[in-house]
Amino acid sequence: MPSELYLVRPIHGLTGRPCPGERLWSAGLLAMGPAVGFLRARNREGFDIYLSPFAIDRNAGYILVDLDRADPRVVHTMRTHGHEPCVVLQTSPGNLQAWVHVSATPLEPALATEIGRELARLYRGDPASVDWRHLGRLAGFTNQKPQRRRPGGSYAPWVKLLHAQAGLATHGAALVDAAQHRLRASTPAPACLGPPDRSLTAHAAAAIYQAWLNRLRIPLSSNWAALAFPAAIPTPAITCAAPPPEPSPSSQGRLFPGDPIPAEIA
């Protein structure tokens, strides 16, 4: 399941609380001893180790199908239909998770969720696990859910890798196209509002606005009213008087070039 980065999240199997912090790791880092040792320590503390390919705010093109109480032939059926998984995990006896690579480019959340919903419907997957950013388990660690333990509660089953082969599903593009069509069909067309009603005067609009403010008990100052409906607020008359003439420099006892010389000086 090639990806530039993976989101790795340990979540406690009993409390459901995640380990503080989210970790974005490359495949190389995930294979290094210190990283594996850190995850094994969290696993021993009761944390389940989850992972998904990371594409910021979109799906990386991989869809998870959670196959609880799966039919043993379900993976063969998926391959027959062109929805072959690139990764198949046994999360506990009788329970599988399959990753299907449907797109080489990231998918919008709504589109990825719709594809997950369709795959869950086709192969009787868990409909609660179709979210576009749903995490899958990481192989090589134990399943810490109490209900997955053997009778007596002393043995947590290992998450086992059953199949891994990189590549797009044969009919992955068809899944994407069909999901896009369903999303478009389910989106209501915008209602035609028609031409604006120009019979509503500014004063009538201001009255409607004020009525809603009164109903919602929102006080409205005159300044806000002027901003909302300037045409409805009477504009006070403004008179502009000519500015008084500035005193001449000579009257202030100062002479400038070009000023006439007062008689008392001449």
Q: Which residues pair with 58 in a beta bridge?
A: 55
The reported pLDDT for the residue numbered 250 is 46
Phi, psi of 150, deg, nearest 5: -70, 160
Sign of CA dihedral 112, 31, 5, 166: negative
Cα angle 184, 190, 195 (rounded to 5 degrees) comes to 155
The answer to whether residue 89 sits within a structural domain is yes
- The pair of structure tokens assigned to 156 is 């947590």
The reported pLDDT for the residue numbered 64 is 98
d(CA 256, CA 249): 7
The answer to whether residue 2 sits within a structural domain is no
Regions in the chain scoring below 70 on pLDDT: 22, 150-154, 189-197, 219-266
- The pair of structure tokens assigned to 120 is 């869950």
The answer to whether residue 61 sits within a structural domain is yes
- The DSSP H or E segment spanning 64 is strand 62-67
Residue 113: DSSP 8-state: H
How far, in Å, are 46, 107, 139 from residue 160 at the CA level?
18, 28, 5
Query: Beta strands of 150-237 (E only): which ranges?
Result: 160-164
The answer to whether residue 235 sits within a structural domain is no
The answer to whether residue 17 sits within a structural domain is no
Q: Which residues pair with 136 in a beta bridge?
A: 51
The reported pLDDT for the residue numbered 145 is 87
pLDDT digits (tens, 9 = 90+) for 44-61: 999 999 999 999 999 999
Task: Please name the amino acid found at residue 231.
Answer: A
d(CA 9, CA 16): 12
Give residue 118's domain range.
57-185
CB burial class (10 A; 0-12, 13-18, 19+) of residue 92? buried
The answer to whether residue 173 sits within a structural domain is yes
Characterise 136 by phi-psi region: left (phi > 0), alpha (psi -120 to 50), beta (else). beta
The answer to whether residue 257 sits within a structural domain is no
**12 three-class SS:** strand
CATH, residue 181: 3.30.70.1790
The reported pLDDT for the residue numbered 249 is 47
The reported pLDDT for the residue numbered 193 is 60
The reported pLDDT for the residue numbered 146 is 82
The interaxial angle of helices 109-123 and 172-186, nearest 10 deg, is: 110
Query: Beta strands of 74-159 (E only): which ranges?
Result: 87-92, 95-101, 136-137
The answer to whether residue 203 sits within a structural domain is no
The reported pLDDT for the residue numbered 246 is 52
Number of domains in the chain: 1
The reported pLDDT for the residue numbered 159 is 97
- The pair of structure tokens assigned to 266 is 């001449």
d(CA 206, CA 221): 13
pTM: 0.69
- The pair of structure tokens assigned to 84 is 């072959």
